[in-house]
Amino acid sequence: MWTRKTPAEIRAQPRSDSPALPIWRRLLVHLRGHVLLFDQKPASQHDLPAGTRLLVIFVVLEALRLGVFRLFYPLLPLLILVPLFLGCALLSVRFVAGLRLSKIGLNPWRKWTATEKSYFVQLLIIANVVFPVVFAPRLATILTQPSAPRVLANVFVPYFFFGFYQEVVYRGILQSELVRRWGAVIGILAANVLYTFGPLHWHYFSPLAIPMLASIFAIGLFFGVLFRRSGNLWIVAVIHGIGNAYIVGSLGSTQ
């Protein structure tokens, strides 16, 4: 049965005579992420008490992580401990700070922009090509051993989740609140100093570790700026997790 369309429905219909975007404009969507040109999103809006609770969550989580890992590892495997702490971090944001996870950059896929989606997929492909090439001899050694499934379960998978945890805690929770309080430059730098020289890496302190700590600082700074520019924690968390899994899995499993 034919029904009359409303003016709003007529306007919403795609017009066949509308000009197609030039090819360079369509390609630009896939390149903008590489120069950190993302559509700007509104800054996280929450009150001072919620922000204070975020900082308390950060301190408590890292203190607990140090104590629990020291007491219960290796009695409890990393495959249990790391996802447990990641879950605690996410639940704390939601129910202790009282904020939606979107406030720390964890938006559902349907809310991502075209640039975010394209950049994320490109990074996934690049990471899963570059790391296997760089670590090809070590990965070949690991994967040809009978213990390969155990190594994947006990090293690669937990360290992927650990990279994700680090981004949730140091970028999603800590950096978001410090940027809100002190502005982008100071907030990003302060969070990255704590990320590089704080509980995650302070056991590496020695003159020989200076190049490694400099690399950690540079990579962390990139992740911090990328998160600030994109507002998307999924991108930095997943890529950090993949890098963590390949680096620790390859270097740590063959020693």
Domain contains 198? yes
Task: Please report the pLDDT score of residue 19 as a whole number.
Answer: 58
Domain contains 154? yes
Domain contains 24? no
For the chain, the domain total comes to 1
Range of the domain at 201: 45-252
Task: Please report the pLDDT score of residue 24 as a whole number.
Answer: 72
pTM confidence score: 0.88
Domain contains 28? no
Task: Please report the pLDDT score of residue 223 as a whole number.
Answer: 98
Domain contains 73? yes
pLDDT of the chain along its 255 residues, tens only? Answer: 555 656 555 555 555 455 566 777 778 889 999 999 998 877 777 899 999 999 999 999 999 999 999 999 989 999 999 999 999 999 999 999 999 999 999 999 999 999 999 999 999 999 999 999 999 999 999 989 998 899 899 999 999 999 999 999 999 999 999 999 999 999 999 999 999 999 998 877 777 788 999 999 999 999 999 999 999 999 999 999 999 999 999 987 544
Task: Please report the pLDDT score of residue 13 as a whole number.
Answer: 57
Distant-in-sequence, close-in-space partners of 189: CB < 8 Å, separation ≥ 6: 221
Question: Looking at this protein, which amino acid is placed at residue 229?
Answer: R
Nearest to 52 by CA among 163, 174, 167, 146: 174
Q: Can you tell me the distance from the alpha carbon of 161 to that of 245, in angstroms, rounded to the nearest whole number? A: 9
Query: Which DSSP string do the residues of the chain spell out, in sequence order?
Result: ---PPPHHHHHHSPPTTSPPPPHHHHHHHHHGGGGT-----PPP---HHHHHHHHHHHHHHHHHHHHHHHHHTTTS-HHHHHHHHHHHHHHHHHHTS---GGGGT---GGGS-HHHHHHHHHHHHHHHHHHHHHTHHHHHHHHTSTTHHHHIIIIIHHHHHHHHHHIIIIIIIIIHHHHHHH-HHHHHHHHHHHHHHSTTTGGG-SGGGHHHHHHHHHHHHHHHHHHHHH--HHHHHHHHHHHHHHHHHHHHS--
Distant-in-sequence, close-in-space partners of 198: CB < 8 Å, separation ≥ 6: 62
* C-beta separation of 249 from 155 below 8 A: yes
Domain contains 35? no
Q: What angle do CA 174, 177, 181 make, to 5 degrees?
A: 135
Domain contains 10? no
Residue with tokens 């607990």: 64
Domain contains 16? no
Residue with tokens 């104590």: 67
